[in-house]
Amino acid sequence: MTTSGTVIIAGAGSGEIDLLTIKTLNAIKTADCILYDRLVNEDMLKFAKPTAELVYMGKKSSGCSDLQATINQTMVDKAQEGKSVLRLKGGDPFVFGRGYEEVEFLHAHNISYELIPGISSLLAAPMAAGIPLTHRDWASSFHTFTGHGAQSELDYTTIAKLAGTLVFFMSIGNLEIICSNLIANGKKQTTPVAIIENGTLPNQRVVCGTLETIVALKNEAKIQPPALLVIGDVTTYAKLVTN
């Protein structure tokens, strides 16, 4: 009878290979099977041992429930084959990464697992762009949201009143909805905004504007995901990055 293997759920960080943690690097080097996401920098996979099985499990939207079910089952199947499995996820697995859903599935199937944090783009991308999420004079708090729920799930009446920095993941497709709803609920049109595309990577770009102008600027620059939306006075500190 084959002895069950184990699963490590680890964060690959925000993209730059040098921001990979030592613990996750060691997991990459020793895994028998690596299931990796779309936002994982594939250069990190060069550290895998030659015999490691590399399985791409990328999805373009958090709504891909069929693929998530496949990911869950594949983790269990590979572990039950006795393999050391690394589930490598972009950013941090527990920050809009559905990591705990995978934990629950492993637990339900009696698969042992380990969790390794990653450096989320929430922290890394603004810093790489020169933007402090908090500042003694401008922001004593920051608040994080997913842009996927921009049309129906977000309470803009409350969000627009928040004085701190607002950070939206996965927001580019709903940028106009986010900005117009914030303005409609009392946020000033002149509130500074920055979009950080490919944060921490060599092709990082930063587009700065206001709630009123950022949609047009995004379209003009042809910004594409992955990109982080940061709203608040702290964005005026952004480095100006050109094409």
Residues carrying an active site annotation: 37, 59, 170
Q: How far apart are CA 59 and CA 131, in angstroms?
A: 29
Three-state DSSP state, 104: helix
Residue 15 gets the label, from left (phi > 0), alpha (psi -120 to 50) or beta, of left
Three-state DSSP state, 217: helix
DSSP 55-94: EE---SSTT-HHHHHHHHHHHHHHHHTT-EEEEEESB-TT
